[in-house]
Amino acid sequence: MAGTSELNEDKKARKSKRGRGDAPVVEAPGQPDQDERDDRSAQEASVSEDNYEFFKVIQGYLDEAAGIIGLPAHVREMLSQPKNEIIVHFPVRMDDGSLKIFKGYRIQHNNLMGPYKGGLRFHHSVSLDDLKALATMMTWKCALMGIPFGGAKGGVKVDTNKLSRDELMRVTRRFTHALGNNIGPNYDIPAPDVGSNAQMMVWIMDTYMNQVDHTNKNAQRAVVTGKTLNCGGSPGREKATAQGAIHCLTEWAKDNRFELEGKTAIVQGFGNVGSFSSLLLSKLGVSTIAVGDHTGYMRSVEGFNAHKLSDYVKKNGSIAGYEGGQPITREEFFATKADIFIPAALENQLRAPEAELLQVKLVVEGANGPCSPEGEALLAKKGIAVLPDVLANSGGVTVSYYEWVQNLRSETWDLEEVDRRLEKTMKETYRKVAFFASEKKVSMRVAAYCLALRNLGNAYEERGIFP
Ligand code: NAD
C-alpha cells in the first residue's frame, strides 16, 4: 500500500498502469496513447451529444459551495483533483478459449476522513472523467453523513450483458488481482454500483483473501461491502440506497405537507436503486406508473406491481418483455404526469429537454449526477424540488459503513438495528441540509456540498498540511 499515493496521476503528463507487484509503467507526455483515445471515445459514447463533462460539473458545485462557506483556497485546490488515478489492463480467458484485455480503474479522491470508499461500475461507458466525478462525490457524501471514510470509485469498461456468468467472474477476479494492494479493509473498500452486485463483491472478497497475507481471515472480509449475507454482508444493505432516499422523501413530505398515500411516481433505471425505490414507495401507498431502463420505457396507468416487476427484472436482466405495461418512448416517459420522479440509472439523464417535459413536483436523485446544471435550472424555474444525490442516495454508503464495522468486529446486527441507525442518520442529515438551505437561501444540493466541505475544511485546518 505504501507508495500508492505516488500514483497520483496527471492524465496529460503521464499514465501509470500497475498490477500487484508490477512497477508502474510511465509513458511519454504529450502523445495521446491508445488508452487516452479509448477514454475520449468512451466519454463520447457515455455522454449525450451536448458533450457533458461530469467532473467539470462537480467542480462547479465545489467552487460555488466553497465560496459560500469561505473554504480556504488551498483546501479547495486539494479537493479539486483525486489523490490517485489507478488504471490497469488485465487479460481474461473467454469461454471460447480466446484472451481479451480489459481496462479497469480505481480513482481514489480523498482519504482525509478515513479509508477510500466507493463503488465499482461495470459498464461499457465507464470513463476516467465520470469516475473522477463519482469518486469526488463519494468524498462529499461520507463527509456529509459523518462516516469515517474518504471517497473513491472504480470500474471496468465492459458490457456485462455480453459476458457469461463464468466470464464475468473471471473479469471480476482478475481485476481484483490487478488492483492488488491498492484496495484493502483499512485502505480502500469497494462496493456495488451500476453493473455490479453482491455476488461480484463476494468474488472480490474471495480473490483478495487468497492473495494477501492474512492472520485474521474474518476481518479481511471488510475489504469490500455490499456482499451477500452468507459471506459477511449486512442485513439491509441491498435496499439501503433506496431506503435512505425514501427517508429523505418522507421528511420532505412532512415539511411540505405533501400526503404521500395515493401519489404516483416514475422511475428511471430498475436495478438495485430503482427496484427497491419502487418497492418501498408502494409500501407508502405511492404507485409507480412509468419505468425505464437501458432497453426502453413502459407505462401502466393503474400502477406496476413493484414486486412482480422486480422479480421479472432479476430473472430476465431488464424490463424488456414485461407484460404488465405498455411500451412508451423516452420522451413519453419524461412527459408522464406524476408526483415524484426517481432517476436511478446514469448521470446526465435529466438535461434541459427532459426537464422541459417533466410534470412532477419532486425529483429524488437515487442516481449520481442525474440532473445536468441546465436541467436543474429549468426544474427550479418550474418549481420542481430536487433532493440531491449527495444526500438522497447516501443510505448505501451509510449501511456499507455498518457492514464494514460488523466485519471488523465479527458481529452480525439484525435488520431492525441497521434500519434504526440508518433512519436516524438519514433524517438528522436531511434536517441539517434543509436548515442550511433555508437559512442561506440556497438549493438543497449546494447546502449538502457546503456542509460536507465545512467538515472537510475543519479537519484540514486542525491537522494542517504535512510536513
Ligand atoms: P444497477 O446496475 O443495479 O441498475 C442500473 C439501472 O440503470 C438498470 O436498470 C439499467 O438498465 C439502467 N440503465 C443503464 N443505462 C441506462 C440508460 N442509458 N437509460 C436508462 N436506463 C439505463 O445500478 P444501481 O446500483 O441501481 O445504480 C443506479 C444509480 O444509483 C447509479 O447512478 C449509481 O451510481 C447510483 N447509486 C447506487 C448505489 C448502490 O448502493 N447501488 C448507491 C448510491 C448511488
* Partners of residue 116 on adjacent β-strands: 188
Q: Does residue 5 surpass a pLDDT of 80?
A: no
Query: Any residues with Cβ below 6 Å from ligand 1, and which?
Result: 192-195, 241, 268-274, 292-294, 318, 344-346, 366-368, 393, 396
- C-alpha torsion sign, points 205, 211, 217, 223: negative
Q: Choose one of 234, 241, 318, 371 to mutate for the ligand 1 pocket test, by most ligand atoms within 8 angstroms of C-beta.
A: 241
Q: Does 307 share its domain with 364? A: yes
Please report where in the chains the cell 451509510 appears, as a residue.
Answer: 398
Give the atom of ligand 1 at the shortest distance from the alpha carbon of 313.
9
- Confidence band (pLDDT; 50, 70, 90) for 35? very low
Distance 121 CA to ligand 1 centre (A): 9
Predicted local distance difference test score (pLDDT) of residue 216: 67
423, part of any domain:
no
Domain holding 182: CATH number? 3.40.50.10860
Q: Cis (ω within 30 of 0) for the bond into 190?
A: no
Active-site pick, 15, 17, 132, 153? 153
Give the atom of ligand 1 at the shortest distance from the alpha carbon of 197.
3
> Who wins on pLDDT, 50 or 384?
384
Give the atom of ligand 1 at the shortest distance from the alpha carbon of 273.
26
Q: Does residue 3 surpass a pLDDT of 50?
A: no
Q: Among the three residues 364, 387, 410, which one is the final residue of a domain in this structure?
A: 387
* Backbone torsions φ then ψ of 30, nearest 5 degrees: 90, -35
415, part of any domain:
no
Question: 416-454 pLDDT, tens per residue?
Answer: 999 999 999 999 999 999 999 999 999 999 999 999 999
Q: Hey, is 445 helix, strand or coil?
A: helix
Q: Does 317 share its domain with 341? A: yes
Q: Does 216 share its domain with 279? A: no
Q: Does residue 415 surpass a pLDDT of 60?
A: yes
250, part of any domain:
yes
Count: domains in the chain: 2
Q: For residues 77-93, give the mean pLDDT.
A: 98
Cβ 299 vs Cβ 290: under 8 Å: yes
Q: Are strands 116-123 and 151-157 parallel, antiparallel or unpaired?
A: parallel
- Confidence band (pLDDT; 50, 70, 90) for 47? very low
Q: Among the three residues 214, 231, 248, which one is the final residue of a domain in this structure?
A: 231
Give CA–CA dist 200/195, Å, rounded.
10
Distance 6 CA to ligand 1 centre (A): 32
Q: Does 88 share its domain with 24? A: yes
Q: Does residue 246 surpass a pLDDT of 70?
A: yes
Distance 288 CA to ligand 1 centre (A): 17
Question: DSSP code of 9?
Answer: -
Q: Among the three residues 387, 411, 435, which one is the final residue of a domain in this structure?
A: 387
Q: Does 33 share its domain with 131? A: yes
Q: Does 127 share its domain with 261? A: no
Q: Does 82 share its domain with 128? A: yes
Lowest mean pLDDT among 16-25, 295-304, 313-322, 363-372: 16-25
Distance 343 CA to ligand 1 centre (A): 9
> Who wins on pLDDT, 276 or 212?
276
Dihedral, 61, 344, 281, 140 alpha carbons, nearest 10: -30
Distance 54 CA to ligand 1 centre (A): 16
248, part of any domain:
yes
Distance 293 CA to ligand 1 centre (A): 9
Question: DSSP code of 133?
Answer: H
Question: 424-434 pLDDT, tens per residue?
Answer: 999 999 999 99
Q: Hey, is 241 helix, strand or coil?
A: helix
Predicted local distance difference test score (pLDDT) of residue 42: 38
Q: Does 222 share its domain with 263? A: no
Percent of the chain with pLDDT over 90: 86
Considering only CA atoms, which residue is closest to atom 30 of ligand 1?
Answer: 367
Cβ 86 vs Cβ 16: under 8 Å: yes
Question: 337-389 pLDDT, tens per residue?
Answer: 999 999 999 999 999 999 999 999 999 999 999 999 999 999 999 999 999 99
Q: Does 216 share its domain with 250? A: no
Give the atom of ligand 1 at the shortest distance from the alpha carbon of 345.
7
Query: Which of left, alpha, beta for 412 (phi over 0: left; psi -120 to 50: alpha)?
Result: beta
Q: Which three cell numbers stand for residue 458?
A: 475543519
DSSP string, 104-154: EEEEEEE-SSSSEEEEEEEETT--HHHHHHHHHHHHHHHHHHT-S--EEEE
Considering only CA atoms, which residue is closest to atom 19 of ligand 1?
Answer: 294
Query: Which of left, alpha, beta for 348 (phi over 0: left; psi -120 to 50: alpha)?
Result: left
Q: Choose one of 122, 127, 346 to mutate for the ligand 1 pocket test, by most ligand atoms within 8 angstroms of C-beta.
A: 346
Q: Does 210 share its domain with 273? A: no
Is 440 among the residues known to form the active site? no
92, part of any domain:
yes
Q: Does 16 share its domain with 133? A: yes
* pTM summary value: 0.90
Question: 271-291 pLDDT, tens per residue?
Answer: 999 999 999 999 999 999 999
Give the atom of ligand 1 at the shortest distance from the alpha carbon of 368.
32
Predicted local distance difference test score (pLDDT) of residue 221: 94
What domain range includes position 245?
Answer: 240-387
Predicted local distance difference test score (pLDDT) of residue 435: 98
Q: Does residue 25 surpass a pLDDT of 80?
A: no
Q: Choose one of 48, 49, 194 to mutate for the ligand 1 pocket test, by most ligand atoms within 8 angstroms of C-beta.
A: 194
Give CA–CA dist 141/151, Å, rounded.
8
Q: Does 137 share its domain with 213? A: yes
